[in-house]
Homo-oligomer: A and B are copies of this chain.
Protein backbone atom coordinates (compact mmCIF):
# COMPACT_ATOMS: atom_id res chain seq x y z
CA UNK A 1 0.00 0.00 0.00
CA UNK A 2 1.11 3.52 -0.73
CA UNK A 3 4.09 2.32 -2.71
CA UNK A 4 3.87 4.99 -5.37
CA UNK A 5 6.67 7.45 -5.82
CA UNK A 6 5.90 10.45 -3.70
CA UNK A 7 6.66 13.98 -4.67
CA UNK A 8 9.02 16.23 -2.83
CA UNK A 9 6.05 18.20 -1.61
CA UNK A 10 4.62 15.13 0.09
CA UNK A 11 7.96 14.25 1.59
CA UNK A 12 8.36 17.75 2.94
CA UNK A 13 4.82 17.62 4.29
CA UNK A 14 5.39 14.35 6.10
CA UNK A 15 8.75 15.45 7.40
CA UNK A 16 7.41 18.64 8.93
CA UNK A 17 4.27 16.92 10.15
CA UNK A 18 6.35 14.34 11.94
CA UNK A 19 8.61 17.02 13.38
CA UNK A 20 5.62 18.89 14.73
CA UNK A 21 3.84 15.85 16.11
CA UNK A 22 6.98 14.42 17.64
CA UNK A 23 7.73 17.67 19.39
CA UNK A 24 10.84 18.60 17.41
CA UNK A 25 9.03 21.84 16.69
CA UNK A 26 7.40 23.42 19.71
CA UNK A 27 4.12 25.28 19.81
CA UNK A 28 4.82 28.91 18.96
CA UNK A 29 7.93 28.21 16.93
CA UNK A 30 8.09 30.09 13.67
CA UNK A 31 9.15 28.30 10.53
CA UNK A 32 9.85 30.17 7.31
CA UNK A 33 9.81 28.90 3.77
CA UNK A 34 13.38 29.90 3.07
CA UNK A 35 14.52 28.33 6.32
CA UNK A 36 12.93 25.03 5.34
CA UNK A 37 14.39 25.32 1.86
CA UNK A 38 17.94 25.53 3.12
CA UNK A 39 17.32 22.94 5.84
CA UNK A 40 15.85 20.41 3.45
CA UNK A 41 17.68 21.39 0.30
CA UNK A 42 14.63 21.91 -1.87
CA UNK A 43 13.07 24.91 -3.54
CA UNK A 44 10.17 26.92 -2.25
CA UNK A 45 7.50 25.40 -4.48
CA UNK A 46 7.23 22.03 -2.73
CA UNK A 47 7.76 23.69 0.63
CA UNK A 48 4.85 26.03 0.03
CA UNK A 49 2.57 23.21 -0.96
CA UNK A 50 3.54 21.31 2.16
CA UNK A 51 2.86 24.34 4.34
CA UNK A 52 -0.55 24.79 2.79
CA UNK A 53 -1.43 21.23 3.67
CA UNK A 54 -0.15 21.60 7.19
CA UNK A 55 -2.19 24.74 7.53
CA UNK A 56 -5.28 22.88 6.39
CA UNK A 57 -4.67 20.33 9.12
CA UNK A 58 -4.31 23.14 11.62
CA UNK A 59 -0.82 22.05 12.57
CA UNK A 60 0.50 25.49 11.66
CA UNK A 61 -0.97 28.91 11.15
CA UNK A 62 0.42 30.98 8.31
CA UNK A 63 1.18 34.59 9.04
CA UNK A 64 3.01 37.31 7.21
CA UNK A 65 6.12 36.59 9.22
CA UNK A 66 6.20 32.86 8.68
CA UNK A 67 4.21 29.89 9.82
CA UNK A 68 3.53 29.59 13.53
CA UNK A 69 3.57 26.05 14.84
CA UNK A 70 0.35 25.09 16.59
CA UNK A 71 1.27 21.52 17.34
CA UNK A 72 -0.55 18.88 19.32
CA UNK A 73 -1.18 18.59 23.03
CA UNK A 74 -2.10 15.68 25.25
CA UNK A 75 -5.61 17.04 25.33
CA UNK A 76 -5.74 16.91 21.54
CA UNK A 77 -4.74 13.27 21.59
CA UNK A 78 -7.42 12.58 24.18
CA UNK A 79 -9.99 14.26 21.94
CA UNK A 80 -8.81 12.19 19.03
CA UNK A 81 -9.39 9.01 20.97
CA UNK A 82 -12.78 10.20 22.12
CA UNK A 83 -13.82 10.78 18.54
CA UNK A 84 -12.34 7.52 17.32
CA UNK A 85 -14.19 5.76 20.11
CA UNK A 86 -17.46 7.03 18.70
CA UNK A 87 -16.97 6.42 15.01
CA UNK A 88 -14.27 3.82 14.44
CA UNK A 89 -16.59 1.05 15.52
CA UNK A 90 -19.09 2.17 12.89
CA UNK A 91 -16.37 2.05 10.28
CA UNK A 92 -15.56 -1.51 11.34
CA UNK A 93 -19.23 -2.39 11.12
CA UNK A 94 -19.37 -1.07 7.58
CA UNK A 95 -16.11 -2.77 6.69
CA UNK A 96 -17.49 -6.15 7.72
CA UNK A 97 -20.36 -5.56 5.34
CA UNK A 98 -18.54 -3.92 2.45
CA UNK A 99 -14.94 -5.10 2.26
CA UNK A 100 -13.95 -7.07 -0.80
CA UNK A 101 -12.26 -10.44 -0.45
CA UNK A 102 -9.17 -8.81 -1.90
CA UNK A 103 -9.15 -6.21 0.86
CA UNK A 104 -9.70 -8.83 3.52
CA UNK A 105 -6.65 -10.62 2.21
CA UNK A 106 -4.68 -7.38 2.46
CA UNK A 107 -5.84 -7.03 6.03
CA UNK A 108 -4.66 -10.54 6.81
CA UNK A 109 -1.24 -9.79 5.36
CA UNK A 110 -0.87 -6.91 7.77
CA UNK A 111 -1.76 -9.24 10.59
CA UNK A 112 1.05 -11.59 9.58
CA UNK A 113 3.50 -8.73 9.21
CA UNK A 114 2.45 -7.40 12.58
CA UNK A 115 3.25 -10.77 14.12
CA UNK A 116 6.55 -10.99 12.27
CA UNK A 117 7.78 -7.59 13.36
CA UNK A 118 6.55 -8.20 16.89
CA UNK A 119 8.84 -11.22 16.94
CA UNK A 120 11.71 -9.15 15.61
CA UNK A 121 10.85 -6.38 18.05
CA UNK A 122 10.98 -3.84 15.23
CA UNK A 123 8.86 -1.05 16.68
CA UNK A 124 9.05 1.28 13.70
CA UNK A 125 7.85 -1.36 11.27
CA UNK A 126 5.09 -2.30 13.64
CA UNK A 127 3.85 1.25 13.71
CA UNK A 128 3.88 1.25 9.94
CA UNK A 129 1.94 -1.99 9.73
CA UNK A 130 -0.48 -0.75 12.35
CA UNK A 131 -1.23 2.31 10.23
CA UNK A 132 -1.71 0.15 7.18
CA UNK A 133 -4.06 -2.19 9.01
CA UNK A 134 -6.22 0.68 10.13
CA UNK A 135 -6.17 2.43 6.79
CA UNK A 136 -7.23 -0.73 4.98
CA UNK A 137 -10.02 -1.09 7.51
CA UNK A 138 -11.13 2.52 7.09
CA UNK A 139 -11.06 2.32 3.31
CA UNK A 140 -12.83 -1.01 3.48
CA UNK A 141 -15.81 0.69 5.05
CA UNK A 142 -16.61 1.85 1.54
CA UNK A 143 -17.10 5.34 2.85
CA UNK A 144 -14.62 7.98 1.83
CA UNK A 145 -15.85 10.12 4.69
CA UNK A 146 -15.05 7.57 7.35
CA UNK A 147 -11.80 6.77 5.62
CA UNK A 148 -10.71 10.35 5.39
CA UNK A 149 -11.74 11.37 8.88
CA UNK A 150 -10.29 8.36 10.65
CA UNK A 151 -7.10 8.23 8.63
CA UNK A 152 -6.29 11.75 9.71
CA UNK A 153 -7.11 11.15 13.36
CA UNK A 154 -5.21 7.89 13.52
CA UNK A 155 -2.13 9.35 11.91
CA UNK A 156 -2.02 12.28 14.26
CA UNK A 157 -2.41 10.08 17.30
CA UNK A 158 0.17 7.62 16.14
CA UNK A 159 2.87 10.07 15.26
CA UNK A 160 2.47 11.84 18.52
CA UNK A 161 5.50 11.05 20.61
CA UNK A 162 5.71 7.38 21.44
CA UNK A 163 2.48 5.86 20.20
CA UNK A 164 0.94 2.76 21.67
CA UNK A 165 2.61 0.11 19.54
CA UNK A 166 6.06 1.35 20.45
CA UNK A 167 5.39 -0.12 23.86
CA UNK A 168 6.17 -3.81 23.93
CA UNK A 169 3.30 -4.99 26.10
CA UNK A 170 0.83 -2.96 24.17
CA UNK A 171 2.17 -4.37 20.91
CA UNK A 172 1.17 -7.87 21.90
CA UNK A 173 -2.35 -7.06 23.05
CA UNK A 174 -2.76 -4.78 20.05
CA UNK A 175 -1.98 -7.73 17.82
CA UNK A 176 -4.61 -9.81 19.58
CA UNK A 177 -7.17 -7.08 19.14
CA UNK A 178 -6.34 -6.66 15.48
CA UNK A 179 -6.83 -10.36 15.02
CA UNK A 180 -10.21 -10.17 16.68
CA UNK A 181 -11.25 -7.40 14.33
CA UNK A 182 -9.96 -9.34 11.36
CA UNK A 183 -11.77 -12.52 12.35
CA UNK A 184 -15.03 -10.68 12.74
CA UNK A 185 -14.68 -9.01 9.37
CA UNK A 186 -13.54 -12.15 7.57
CA UNK A 187 -16.63 -13.95 8.86
CA UNK A 188 -18.77 -10.94 7.95
CA UNK A 189 -19.97 -10.50 11.48
CA UNK A 190 -20.58 -6.77 11.56
CA UNK A 191 -21.74 -6.50 15.16
CA UNK A 192 -18.72 -8.38 16.38
CA UNK A 193 -16.38 -6.25 14.27
CA UNK A 194 -17.94 -3.18 15.77
CA UNK A 195 -17.45 -4.43 19.30
CA UNK A 196 -13.88 -5.53 18.62
CA UNK A 197 -12.97 -2.15 17.15
CA UNK A 198 -14.45 -0.37 20.12
CA UNK A 199 -12.47 -2.52 22.51
CA UNK A 200 -9.32 -1.87 20.51
CA UNK A 201 -9.63 1.90 20.58
CA UNK A 202 -10.61 1.86 24.24
CA UNK A 203 -7.55 -0.16 25.19
CA UNK A 204 -5.21 1.96 23.11
CA UNK A 205 -6.54 5.08 24.79
CA UNK A 206 -6.28 3.51 28.21
CA UNK A 207 -2.71 2.46 27.59
CA UNK A 208 -1.65 5.93 26.48
CA UNK A 209 -3.31 7.82 29.28
CA UNK A 210 -3.15 5.46 32.21
CA UNK A 211 0.20 6.77 33.45
CA UNK A 212 -0.81 10.41 33.30
CA UNK A 213 -2.33 12.92 35.65
Interface set of A (CB-CB < 8 Å, partner B): 9, 45, 48-49, 52-53, 56-58, 70, 75-76, 79-80, 82-83, 86-87, 90, 143-149, 152-153
26 A–B contacts from the bound complex (CB under 8 Å): A9-B52, A45-B45, A45-B48, A48-B49, A49-B49, A52-B53, A53-B53, A53-B56, A56-B56, A56-B57, A58-B144, A58-B147, A58-B148, A70-B144, A75-B143, A76-B145, A79-B143, A79-B146, A82-B90, A83-B87, A83-B146, A83-B149, A86-B87, A87-B87, A149-B152, A149-B153
- In the assembled complex, the Cα of A7 lies from the Cα of B147 at a distance in Å of 29
A44's nearest neighbour on chain B, judged by CB, is: B45
Contacts of A153 in B (CB 8 A): 145, 149
For the complex of A and B, 3 pairs with smallest distance between CB atoms = A79-B145, A86-B86, A79-B143
- Residue in A70, A79, A149 whose Cβ sees the most chain B Cβ within 10 Å: A79
Which B residues are in CB contact (< 8 Å) with A48?
A: 45, 49
Distance in Å: Cβ of A179 to nearest Cβ of chain B: 26
Q: Which of A45, A52, A56, A153 has the most CB of B within 10 A?
A: A52
**A80-B145 in contact (CB<8A):** yes
Chain B contacts for A76, CB-based, 8 A? 143-145
Whether the pair B70, A145 counts as a contact (CB closer than 8 A) is no
Which B residues lie within 8 Å of A79 (CB)? 143, 145-146
CA A48 to CA B9, docked complex, whole Å? 11
Please measure, in the bound complex, the distance between the C-alpha atom of A24 and the C-alpha atom of B145, giving whole angstroms: 20
| Extra 10 A-B pairs, beta carbons < 8 Å, given A53-B56, A58-B144, A76-B144 | A9-B52, A53-B53, A80-B145, A82-B90, A83-B87, A86-B87, A86-B90, A145-B153, A149-B149, A149-B153
Whether A145 lies near B53 (C-beta < 8 A) is no
Contact residues in B for A87 (Cβ distance below 8 Å): 83, 86-87
Which residues of chain B have C-beta atoms less than 8 A from A148's C-beta?
A: 57-58
Q: How far is the CB of A159 from chain B (nearest CB, A)?
A: 14
Select the residue from A56, A75, A147 with max chain B CB neighbours within 10 A. A56
